[in-house]
Chain A
Amino acid sequence: MITHELIERIEGEAVLDFKTDKSGIVRDANIRFLHFRGMEAILEGRNALDALVITPRVCGICGHSHLIATVKMIENIYQNAGVKIRISDKAKAIRQITLSCELIQNHIKWLYLIMLHESGKLLEKEPKVALKALYVSSQVNQLCALFSGQWPHSSYAIPGGVTCDPTYIEVMQALKILSEVERFIADEVLGCTPEAFNQAMSQNTLLSLKGDFGTVLRNFERLGLLEQGKSHGRFLVLGETQEIIVHLERSSASSDNVSEDISNTFAEGGNTYAKNALYNGEFFETGPLARALVQEHTGVSALHRLYGDSAVTRITARVEEMVSLCAHVRQLLTSLDLSQPSFITPPSIESISGEGLGIIEAPRGSLIHRATIEKGKIVSYSIITPTQWNLGNGTQTNLGVAQKAMIGAESIAKASLLFRTFDVCSVCTTH
């Protein structure tokens, strides 16, 4: 039987076409994204700096990641054109602080609004709207705005640094907000200290954790989904470091091996606007789980050895990233050297021609911006989003990551929940 399931309460909407057998088990799943906005074409012909305003509007929940990818890409174009461009450590650190904030608020919203809510609904125990989680997300965004001016849709990172020139007033406020966020994560999300959480990962005792994360895992256990949702076991990280893992084997990666496949899109007679992103012609999972495995995070690696790339490992990796990122932001805030310049003026963009690449780690994984500019004007612009990797739609013989994770699920409802463990975003996927 074929069922078309509209997936709502993601960023945008997606349609899943399920093929089920007589007992309702999912035998095949196709992923379709229908909303296309033509962001790349909007950018062509514009001044390259305008991209700092346009690309954040690809996505309301991860627009800051698009900003940082754009600025890194323009700086890379300068370098490729043989023009020196300097960024102070202070500006680099501030960019990392604000980008990390975006990841933290994303993961909190996903855990509460999507995972806790949808898993509860399947057990016919729909929880209340988690206002406490929205409140703490707004606090994280406030921390970001102390430097970026606003969230969402800031354009404060520009080639040469950042536009803000913070004082210790902002730094002290940021540290105070961070303490509140850390307290929320310990008291509400984990129900224990970060250290105890790490131990629980290594000792495989996560199910006994008292916080809301523990509730999500217990919901998944009751649904029999904890060890479901396995995919290819292929992982990719292209921002910061460039590495892939294929069946536990690590190797260095290069963005040269990345390609986009349009065979499933409307242009080629398919039924989606989303292009697949491939590495050496294959689908790879990107995002928090890939990052934790590449960084050899002790707890997440231990879980991965026991449960592979199943739901429990994928969910835990995203929760763990909140914890690690808070520690990272604290370290950056406390070591910020305010005496350094925020911005070092580069030569005018109108003097620059050439091409470049900006790759960063966004909430859902590796995000790639690439462009060619001529005397400062954009000739072509191309964006590959993390969800094009995770939510790609392959064929029976070459299944996409989320597709493979859904096949074999006992019901359409359970397959849809497994789909959501990837943190689905349709606006990014189609852009």
Chain B
Amino acid sequence: MNPPSAITSTMPSNPTKLKIIWLQGITCNGNTHSFLNDPLLGTLLDEVEFIHHPILPAQKTLKEVVKKIPKSDILIFEGAYSASFERAGVPMETLLLALASKTKHIIAMGSCASFGGIFKEGAPEHISGILFDKEQESGPLRSMREKVITLSGCPAHPKWLSFVIDMIVSGKTIAVDEYRRPKALYSYLVHNGCLRNEYFEWKVDSDHFGTKEGCLFYAQGCQGPMTHGSCNKILWNEVSSKTRAGTPCVGCTEPTFPKSNLFSTKTYMSIPSEMPLGIPKRSYLALAGAAKSFHIKRLEERLIDDNA
């Protein structure tokens, strides 16, 4: 693929392009840098323009935005919400509400904006997402819930964002789940498409980290079978995912993120205490018992026997 050519950021506003404001709450900037990884950024910027973005050169500085709140088509919010948290000297309870009421669509970008995420842990009673506080729909934008699209994930994948923007540009309706996440992206589980699926089917666990073989669900704490996300369908950085790199899924797209003891599986009578999503324990036990009674030689051997 050829690198895209440069575009002008400060050209006069173009009436045919959708106008976006990207605002940050309590954040690490991870979603901003995830977004910048989109190799088709140039094509996206043919369709939309940023009135304000925290890193990309844009039409207005934040100082100018707070002076005169502009109208926009899409407001992207990154980071967790706290009423008193200030940007450019303006508290979020004023700034977010003002920008939200002058936009058509709102995207909660990442798990902090969606549910509170990691930064909620710092002051749980004051910090939340913009629509949800963990599972509760009690965030500051609840009166505008229909405008909000949730893109949970720590960070959210750049293609998840460009998908939502493309759908808005095309005037299509985005089907959403109970947390207002696009079903097209979050109906899959991280487990779907994992290269270790066959080991899961035959209940072959991974002896230890750093191998190509075995499923990480039984001992290493993998939450892939109960986490919504298309990480193994739309690969990260176009090439990989946590589980493909042998790292357990940490469940970062769910309102419960971050749980504790992320690198070990909690078990009861040596069975994972949390079941794959929607699987009754009895069904799981029946199948696991049967699968474990067979020893499949191929799955117990190394995948590539000369170590490379």
Would you call B88 and A6 a contact (CB within 8 A)? Answer: yes
Interface size on B, residues (CB 8 A): 73
Residues of chain B with a CB closer than 8 A to A134's CB: 36, 41
Binds A, one of B23-31, B141-149, B270-278: B23-31
A147 vs B39: C-alpha distance in the bound complex, in angstroms? Answer: 19
Interface size on A, residues (CB 8 A): 75
Residues of chain B with a CB closer than 8 A to A167's CB: 212, 304, 308
A72 vs B308: C-alpha distance in the bound complex, in angstroms? Answer: 26
Would you call A141 and B37 a contact (CB within 8 A)? Answer: yes
Check A50 for interface membership: any CB of B closer than 8 A: yes
Q: A9-B57, A37-B26, A150-B241 are in contact. Are A126 and B10 (CB under 8 A)?
A: yes
Check B12 for interface membership: any CB of A closer than 8 A: no
Give the contacting residue for A60; candidates B29, B123, B212; CB below 8 A. B29
A35 vs B246: C-alpha distance in the bound complex, in angstroms? Answer: 34
Would you call B209 and A343 a contact (CB within 8 A)? Answer: yes
Q: A150-B241, A152-B33 are in contact. Are A57 and B260 (CB under 8 A)?
A: no
Q: A152-B33, A153-B30, A163-B246 are in contact. Are A131 and B5 (CB under 8 A)?
A: yes
Residues of chain B with a CB closer than 8 A to A148's CB: 240, 245
> Closest approach, in angstroms, between the C-beta of B225 and any C-beta of chain A?
18
Q: A342-B210, A343-B209, A343-B210 are in contact. Are A144 and B237 (CB under 8 A)?
A: yes
Would you call A151 and B7 a contact (CB within 8 A)? Answer: no
Closest to B122 in A: A38
**Residue-wise interface mask of B (36-56) relative to A, using a CB-CB cutoff of 8 A (1 in contact, 0 not):** 111101100100000000111
Residues of chain B with a CB closer than 8 A to A61's CB: 29, 33
Q: A42-B121, A155-B250 are in contact. Are A164 and B6 (CB under 8 A)?
A: no
Closest to B89 in A: A6
A243 vs B7: C-alpha distance in the bound complex, in angstroms? Answer: 44
A39 vs B123: C-alpha distance in the bound complex, in angstroms? Answer: 11
> Closest approach, in angstroms, between the C-beta of A89 and any C-beta of chain B?
14
**Residue-wise interface mask of A (230-248) relative to B, using a CB-CB cutoff of 8 A (1 in contact, 0 not):** 0000000000000000000
Q: A131-B3, A132-B4 are in contact. Are A145 and B236 (CB under 8 A)?
A: yes
> Which 10 A-B pairs have CB atoms at the shortest separation, nearest pair first?
A343-B210, A149-B245, A342-B210, A60-B29, A150-B236, A145-B237, A60-B30, A163-B246, A38-B122, A128-B6
20 new A-B contacts at CB < 8 Å, known A60-B32, A132-B5: A8-B62, A12-B24, A13-B87, A34-B86, A38-B122, A38-B123, A47-B262, A50-B261, A52-B263, A63-B30, A129-B6, A132-B3, A134-B36, A135-B4, A135-B39, A135-B41, A151-B236, A158-B209, A162-B210, A342-B209
Q: List 19 A-B contacts (CB under 8 A).
A: A9-B54, A9-B57, A12-B29, A35-B26, A42-B118, A46-B260, A47-B262, A52-B262, A53-B262, A54-B118, A127-B6, A129-B9, A149-B246, A150-B242, A158-B263, A163-B246, A165-B211, A165-B246, A345-B208
